[in-house]
Structure 1
Amino acid sequence: MKPWMVLIDRTAVLFLGVAAGAAIGLAFAYGGHPWPEQPTQPEVEAAAEPAPAPVPVEPAKPMPQVAGVECAMPFQQQLLDTLADGGKIRVGVFGDSFGDGLWSALYRQLPANANFQVVKYSQQSTGFTRYASLNIEEHTAQQLAADGPVDIAVISFGANDTQGVMAGAKAARLLSPEWKRVIGERIDGLVRLLRSRGAMVYWVGLPKMRKESFDADISAMNAFYADRMKMLGVPFIDTVPFSVDAGGAYAPYLPDGPEGKRTLIRANDGIHMSMTGYVRITRGLADRIRGYVEAARSFTAQGEPAVQQARAS
């Protein structure tokens, strides 16, 4: 095995600690039109929000391993080139309105003064069951063609996908074998596209939901996503443990921060997070991204010959 084939990203430990003074906001509402014969749920658009200012990140406290699958793969050449050229590490966030919240949280935790550029590619009211209105893979290809590649891609979809999908000329019910085939192929296509552009990919699962029936669908969908990511070798970030109380129940308020103060972490819709909540569930992911980048930086510090060897391989 060549020396550049260094295996990385084994830090599957999520961390606690809070960015002091993080504003509570970004209450993005659920935007899903339901599949026929399901109860209609209102679609609420989130107000546009200016790019948030970075906030200090408190030292992380290790927690038991609860997040996702391990990923063992060589450093992506795109990131090695970015580091060798002294450019900013571009982190692209792809998803629906939940992805909007993840973008805002990661923007705060991976600031420009630490040489990161966190870019919002998420779009409200989208999903893998909604290709009639927006083909996510084609749309992502257009975004990357216009903006250039990203070094790291963070994906989160699903809140709009608790419905059936057309499988050819027939309707496939939620999580049926045909539904899994169609949605699985779309997921595979998106991951394949991002990797072909040089990105290291992470998938962020959805948190506990307030409505019991909706939570049952989301839990089953999370399991489907986690299995798919395991097959693809993509780290799946499980956010459920950071959105429930000690008994595993939905909790709008949870202890957070250095003093464990009772803090609002959920939006009023029972689906999305508050801004503090988004920071809470992405804190470990931000730490993993920093660790991945620093490991790659150490590799590039070995000198230009090592990087040239990687480029030629």
Structure 2
Amino acid sequence: MRLLLDRTAVLFLGVAAGAAIGYAFGTGNESHQAVELAPDAAPAPPPPSTVAPPPPTGPEQAPPATDEPKPEKPTPALPEAPVALTDDQPQPGLEDSVRQGRSVRIGVFGDSFGDGVWSGLYKLLPAGQGYRVEKYSQQSTGFTRYKRLNLEQHDDGRIGDQPMDIAVISFGANDAQGVCGDDGKCGALMSSRWQSIIGARVESYVGMLRRHGASIYWVGLPVMRDRGFDADATAMNAFYRSLMGRLGVPFVDVRPLTVDAQGQYEAYYPDDTGAPKLLRANDGVHMSMNGYLRITRPLAARIREASDSARRQQGGQRSAAQQGDSPPVAVAPAAPPLTLSPDRPQL
């Protein structure tokens, strides 16, 4: 009887120990205690974001989020200003190419939207007609993302020592967000801080391209399907139009080519025959191939005119030089009029 009681006690203790271990695994062996935050320590709700959501699909995947800057009260966009078209005149790079008989070298700089601008110009300005359209655009880049990629340093190195005749810039779709400067101070989209930082970076970038001898064109943003994103794009277009006006760079406004008769977003447009053609990509941000051809056709015409102007000017200089170096040409006196007899057949 005593032996039986001892074994029963051991069995009971083993079952109790097993239950305790099982309970510890089930609850994490933690003691949960409610923690009450003081009113001033409670987490504040995040500020409303002014960043438009990136496109979920399309030619480019959604770019990774950047460091969230401290919000600053936005200020209105700069008013639109008349655009000086000084860069429509031949610059040293274009004149050198024409004089040396090289193809006109056109570099397209931008983000994924710039990729589409490049594809349009590549088709409209073929190599067989004396043009060389090169792609420098890169997805998920912008002037707000200098911590990841300093565009000026990066593109300056890629151009190298090769002559650059014309530079087409198309940024902005990735810049609808706040930005932080080198001093760590940040500003929300279109705030005075944002305009100061972005304006300085863009001005320096334009200066870099001009040091390579390039004529420059800035391509604006189209209408966006998302209304919030479209408001951001409209504000950035006004800012860049004003900035390009001060820098003497033509601002190419593509928005009128991407809206319907009521000025609203449209996914299709009628061609010359009235048949509908796809204008936009599924994400409501990028264009279709037809769309990129539509918005770059006026720019291609301007580039052709600038190139032809440089060729005409060079041809006139060459003709004048030849006339100055050649001896005078003796001109024979005019022959007397030929008198035909009545019976001679007329020729």
TM bin, normalised by shorter chain, reads: 0.7 to 0.9
- Deviation (angstroms), 1:81: 1.0
In the other structure, the counterpart of 2:254 is 239
By percentage of residues, which structure has more helix?
2
Counterparts in 2 of 1:171-190, with a 5 A limit?
171-190=186-205
Cα offset, 1:82, TM superposition: 0.5
Aligned with 1:92 (options 80, 103, 107):
107
Cα deviation per residue 1:84-111 (whole Å; 9 max; x = unaligned)? 1110000100000000000000000000
CA distance in 1, matches of 2:286, 2:262: 20
TM-score (normalised: structure 1):
0.76
Distance 1:36 1:142, change over 3 A: closer
**What is the CA–CA distance in structure 1 between the aligned matches of 2:159 and 2:68, rounded to whole Å?**
37
1:221 to 236, 240, 244: 236
The verdict on how the C-alpha distance between 1:226 and 1:124 changes in structure 2, with shifts beyond 3 A counting, is: same
Q: Which has the higher contact order (CA 8 A, sep 6+)?
A: 1
1:273 aligns with 2:304: no
| Secondary structure of 2:261's aligned partner | coil
Q: Under a length normalisation based on structure 2, what TM-score does the superposition of the two structures give?
A: 0.69
Q: Can you list the C-alpha shifts for 1:204-258, whole angstroms capped at 9, x where unaligned?
A: 00100000001101110111011100000100001110000000000001112x2
Aligned residues: 251
- Equivalent residues in 2 for 1:1-313, closer than 5 Å: 27-29=58-60, 31-34=62-65, 69-72=83-86, 74-145=89-160, 148-167=162-181, 168-256=183-271, 258-304=272-318
- SS of the residue corresponding to residue 86 of structure 2 reads coil
User: 2:86 touches 2:250 (CA, 8 Å); kept in 1?
Assistant: no
Report if the CA contact (8 A) 1:149-1:198 is conserved.
yes
CA distance in 2, matches of 1:160, 1:82: 34
Kindly provide the amino acid, as one letter, of the partner of residue 60 in structure 2: A
1:38-87 deviation digits (Å, cap 9, x = unpaired)? 9xxxxxxxxxxxxxxxxxxxxxxxxxxxxx83413552111111011110
Q: Where does structure 2 lack aligned partners over 5 or more consecutive residues?
A: 1-56, 70-81, 322-347
Distance in structure 2 (CA, Å) of the matches to 1:75 and 1:37: 43
Distance 1:222 1:32, change over 3 A: farther
In structure 2, what is the Cα distance between the partners aligned to 1:134 and 1:228?
A: 22
Letter aligned with residue 125 of structure 1:
S
SS in 1 for 2:169: strand
Distance 1:225 1:32, change over 3 A: farther
Shift of the alpha carbon at 1:35? 5.0
SS in structure 1 of the partner of residue 106 of structure 2? strand
Gaps of 5+ in 1: 1-25, 39-67, 308-313
Residue type matched to 1:151 in 2?
A: D
Whole-angstrom CA distance in 1 between matches of 2:320 and 2:99: 11
**Partner Cα distance (1:29, 1:82) in 2:** 34
Q: What is the CA distance between 1:36 and its match in structure 2?
A: 5.5
Amino acid aligned to 1:105? G
Contact 2:68 2:178 (C-alpha < 8 Å) held by counterparts: no
Alpha-carbon distance change, 215 to 30 in structure 1, aligned in 2, over 3 angstroms? farther
How many angstroms apart in 2 are the aligned matches of 1:149 and 1:158? 26
Measured in 2, the distance between the counterparts of 1:172 and 1:305 equals 57
Give yes or no for contact 1:30–1:269 (8 Å, CA) kept in 2: no
The one-letter code of the counterpart of 1:298 is R
**Aligned partners of 2:85 and 2:248 also within 8 Å:** yes
Larger Rg: 2
For 1:152 and 1:31, locate their aligned partners in 2 and report how far apart those are by CA, in whole Å.
Answer: 30
Give the Cα–Cα distance (whole angstroms) in 2 for the partners of residues 239 and 82 of structure 1.
29
1:292 deviates by 0.5
Give, in whole Å, the separation in 2 of the partners of 1:306 and 1:229. Answer: 37
